[in-house]
Amino acid sequence: MRSVGVEEELLLVDPDSGVPCAVALAVLASAAQERAEKEEAFQAELQREQLEFSTSPQTEMGELAEEIRRCRERVSAYARAWGAAAVALATSPLPVTPSLGSATRHQWLAERFGMTAQEQLTCGCHVHVSVASDEEGVAVLDRIRPWLSVLTALSANSPFWQGRDSGYSSYRSRVWGRWPSAGPTEIFGSADRYHGIVRDMLATGALLDEGMVYFDARLAHSYPTVEIRVADVCLDARTTVVLAALSRALVETAARQWENGEPASRHGIPLLRLAAWQAARSGLDGSLVHPLSMRPAPAESVVRAFLHHVEDSLADHGDLSLVRSGLAALLDSGTGARVQRELLKGTGTLADVVRACLVRTAA
């Protein structure tokens, strides 16, 4: 059974005002001082108003869910010691001027990319799924491309930007797309060609290192995994688990297609970019671009097609019931973006939205 691991980025905010606060280094110092189990799972991100945790590889979704819950609780506890709180929002609803980290890497990014780096306060969710080899991993990357936009739609949790409604459900993905190496990829065809393209990208001098190859999905450079990078951090941790189960099933389905000699879909990058844009725009509250036909279709229809595509793999992993119920809940109650907008209608202020989301993060 393929293992799966999750990286979640959380926003650090003042629990009263809801405004992000630059306390990541202090929070990480508290984590290190405690010397708790798996303390190495926490790390700094580009801005001091956020931090990331990583789960260990898991094969059972129940165990993954428990670890995500535990990590969120620990981050929240460390933040409270510094008068802050951790919230699973992919962008800050309230205006913020981010504070870049002082690491050499962060300063290089600031000098090289200017406003792109300075404004980049976004929180994503990355899912790692184990693969047997780079060759299998690249075959998977080639075959999952059309389906990744659906994961963006399911996870959409960033409707607000600098105190205003952005008009998008996942504005994080639009901000993230400013990086020159971000976005969908062409069909690679082989591991050699994948690595050759990465080498050529680094040879341009525009990127610092391989860690800056921000493909929507890539071979992880530190682990034997495919890393799927298109999701917002999810307000509800149960949604994160559904995304992880879907991602594993998507990888397994693609690997089986490769083993059976089924070719990858030939959809070009322009169509994939439009599908990603539509997913970011509407989330589950409008039409999406269908991964097979590349034509507009109701979100519910596209989600059903995704489920059908990976159903056998979900069943083999024992995740079918969990994913069915999770998708039904999302279609009924909405993504984090819909929840945030409804909270604003009910409370009237973005600070109240953040405070309500703090409770949901820990629930």
Q: How many domains does the chain have?
A: 1
**Which domain range does residue 104 map to?**
4-362
Closest listed residue to residue 64, CA positions, set 126, 4, 127: 4
Helices 237-259, 148-155: axis angle to 10 degrees equals 170
Using CA atoms, how far residue 104 sits from 50, 116, 141, 359, in Å, is 18, 17, 31, 35
Express as a percent the part of the chain with pLDDT over 70.
Answer: 98
> pTM for the complete prediction?
0.96
Phi, psi of 254 (to 5 degrees): -65, -40
Mean pLDDT for the stretch of residues 60-83: 95
Cα dihedral value 315, 251, 144, 199, nearest 10: 180
Indicate the DSSP class of residue 43: E
Cα–Cα distance for residue pair 276/152, rounded to 1 Å: 7
In this predicted structure, what is the pLDDT of residue 331? Answer: 97
Rounded Cα–Cα distance for residues 94 and 155 (Å): 20
Q: Which residue has the tokens 């089986």?
A: 256
In this structure, the strands spanning 296-298 and 160-161 are unpaired
How large is the average pLDDT for residues 131-143? 98
Assign 90 to helix, strand or coil. coil
Structure tokens at 301: 């229809």
CATH number of the domain that residue 288 is part of: 3.30.590.20
Give CA–CA dist 280/4, Å, rounded: 25
Count of residues in the chain: 363
- Given a contact cutoff of 8 angstroms between Cβ atoms, the answer to whether 223 and 143 are in contact is no
- Whether the pLDDT of residue 137 is over 50: the answer is yes
Compute the mean pLDDT over every residue in the chain, rounded to the nearest whole number. 95
Please report, to the nearest 10 degrees, the dihedral formed by the alpha carbons of residues 5, 11, 16, 18 taken in order: -130
DSSP codes of every residue in 200-216: HHHHTSSSSSGGG--BS
Q: φ, ψ for residue 362 (rounded to 5)?
A: -90, -10
Residue 40 has pLDDT above 80, yes or no: no
The pLDDT assigned to 31 comes to 82
Q: How confident is the model at residue 39 (pLDDT cuts 50, 70, 90)?
A: very low
What is the C-alpha separation between 64 and 165, in angstroms, rounded?
Answer: 33
Alpha-carbon distance of 101 to 44, in angstroms, equals: 8
Residue-level pLDDT at 36: 53
Contact 10, 86 (CB under 8 A): yes
The helix (H) or strand (E) run that includes residue 333 is helix 320-333
Please give the average per-residue pLDDT across 95-121, as a whole number.
Answer: 94
Q: Which residue has the tokens 């298109």?
A: 230
Of the listed ranges 24-28, 35-39, 229-233, the one predicted with least confidence: 35-39
For residue 297, what are the β-bridge partners?
288
